[in-house]
Amino acid sequence: MPVVRLYYEDLEELVGASRDVILSRLPMMGADIGKKAEEAYVDVEFFPDRPDLYSVEGVSRALKGFLGTDVGIPQYDVHPGRVVLEVDPSVNAVRPLIACAVVRGLEFSGPAIESLMDLQEDLHWGLGRNRRKVAIGVHDISRVEPPFKYLAEDPERKFVPLDFTEEMTMRDMLIKHPKGTGYGHILKGFDSYPLIVDAKNRVLSFPPIINGDLTRVEEDTHDLFIDVTGTDPVVHKALNIVVTALAERGGKIESVLVKRKEGDFVSPNLTPARWIINCAEANRLIGFDLPPQELAAALERMRFGAKANDQGVDVEVEVPAYRVDIMHSWDIFEDAAKGFGYENLTLELPKTVTVGRPHPIEARKAEIRDIMTGLGYLEVLPFTLTSEKVQFEHMRRLSSGEIRVLHPISELHTILRTTILPSLLEIFALNQHHSLPQRIFAVGEVVENRKTKLNLAFASIHSSANFSEIRSVADAVLQEMMIKAGIELSKDGAFLPGRAADIIDGEKTIGVLGEVHPAVLRNFGLEQPVVGFEMRWDEL
Partner 1 sequence: MLSEIDSKVIKAIIKGATIPQEIAEETCAKVEAVRASADALAEKGLVKVSKSIEETAALTEEGRRYADEGLPERRLLGMEGTSLSELKDPSLKIGLGWLKRKDWAAIEGGKIGSKGEAPLGEDEMALKILLQGPKKTTEIDKKALAALKSRGLVIISTFKSWSYEVTLEGSKAAAEIGETAAEMIAQVTPEMVKSGQWEGNCVVLGGKHYCTRPYDVTLAAVRIYPGKEHPYQRLIDRMREIMLEMGFTEIRGQIIQSSFWNFDALFQPQDHPAREMQDTFYLSTKALIPDFTKVKEMHECGGDVGSTGWGGCWSPEIASQEVLRTHTTSVTIKYLADHPEPPVKAFGIDRVYRREAIDATHTPEFEQLEGIIMDRDVTFANLLAVLKEFYAKMGFEEVRFRPGYFPYTEPSVEPEVFIDGLGWVELGGAGVFRREVTAPFGIDYPVLAWGLGVSRVAMLKLGLKDLRLLYQPDIQWLREMPISLRM
For the CB of residue 509, give the shortest distance to partner 1 in the complex, in Å: 23
Contact (CB, 8 A) for 151 and 260: no
Containing 319, the helix (H) or strand (E) segment is strand 314-319
Contact (CB, 8 A) for 271 and 82: no
Asked if 410 interacts with partner 1 (CB under 8 A), we say: yes
Nearest of 232, 221, 201 to residue 102 by alpha carbon: 221
Q: Strands 438-448 and 378-379: what pairing?
A: parallel
Q: Strands 314-319 and 273-278: what pairing?
A: antiparallel
Q: Residues 39, 362, 411, 507: which binds partner 1 (CB under 8 A)? A: 362
**204 or 424, CB closer to partner 1?**
424
Residues 319-348 that bind partner 1 (CB under 8 A): 327-331, 333-334, 337-338, 342-343, 345-348
Q: Residues 64, 95, 124, 133: which binds partner 1 (CB under 8 A)? A: 133
The window from 27-35, 175-183, 211-219, 260-268 that contacts partner 1 (CB under 8 A) reads 27-35
Q: Residues 36, 262, 406, 463: which binds partner 1 (CB under 8 A)? A: 406
Residues 501-530 that bind partner 1 (CB under 8 A): none
Asked if 291 interacts with partner 1 (CB under 8 A), we say: no
Q: Residues 6, 10, 22, 30: which binds partner 1 (CB under 8 A)? A: 30
**283 or 509, CB closer to partner 1?**
283
Contact (CB, 8 A) for 313 and 321: no
Residues 6+ apart with CB under 8 A from 22: 11, 12, 15, 63
Dump strand ranges (E) for 62-147: 78-79, 84-87, 97-104, 134-140
Q: How far is CA 67 from CA 14, 17, 23, 300, 332, in A?
A: 13, 9, 12, 11, 19
Q: Strands 305-308 and 314-319: what pairing?
A: antiparallel
For the CB of residue 375, give the shortest distance to partner 1 in the complex, in Å: 6
For the CB of residue 357, give the shortest distance to partner 1 in the complex, in Å: 5
Listing from the earlier edge strand, what are the strands of the sheet with 3-7? 3-7, 41-45, 32-33
For the CB of residue 188, give the shortest distance to partner 1 in the complex, in Å: 16
**398 or 540, CB closer to partner 1?**
540
Asked if 248 interacts with partner 1 (CB under 8 A), we say: no
The window from 6-14, 29-37, 147-155, 170-178 that contacts partner 1 (CB under 8 A) reads 29-37
**165 or 344, CB closer to partner 1?**
344
**280 or 489, CB closer to partner 1?**
280
Asked if 430 interacts with partner 1 (CB under 8 A), we say: yes
Q: Residues 16, 89, 105, 233: which binds partner 1 (CB under 8 A)? A: 233
Asked if 286 interacts with partner 1 (CB under 8 A), we say: yes
Strand partners, 317: 275, 306
Q: How far is CA 433 from CA 377, 427, 441, 524, in A?
A: 18, 12, 19, 15
Interaction mask 368-387, partner 1, x per CB under 8 A? -x--xxxxxxxxxxxxxx--
Peptide bond into 360 cis (omega under 30): no
Asked if 403 interacts with partner 1 (CB under 8 A), we say: yes
Cα separation, 460 vs 533, whole angstroms: 9
The window from 16-24, 108-116, 157-165, 354-362 that contacts partner 1 (CB under 8 A) reads 354-362
Q: Residues 16, 34, 105, 287: which binds partner 1 (CB under 8 A)? A: 287
Asked if 56 interacts with partner 1 (CB under 8 A), we say: no
The window from 26-34, 240-248, 475-483, 524-532 that contacts partner 1 (CB under 8 A) reads 26-34
Residues 6+ apart with CB under 8 A from 240: 268, 269, 270, 321, 322
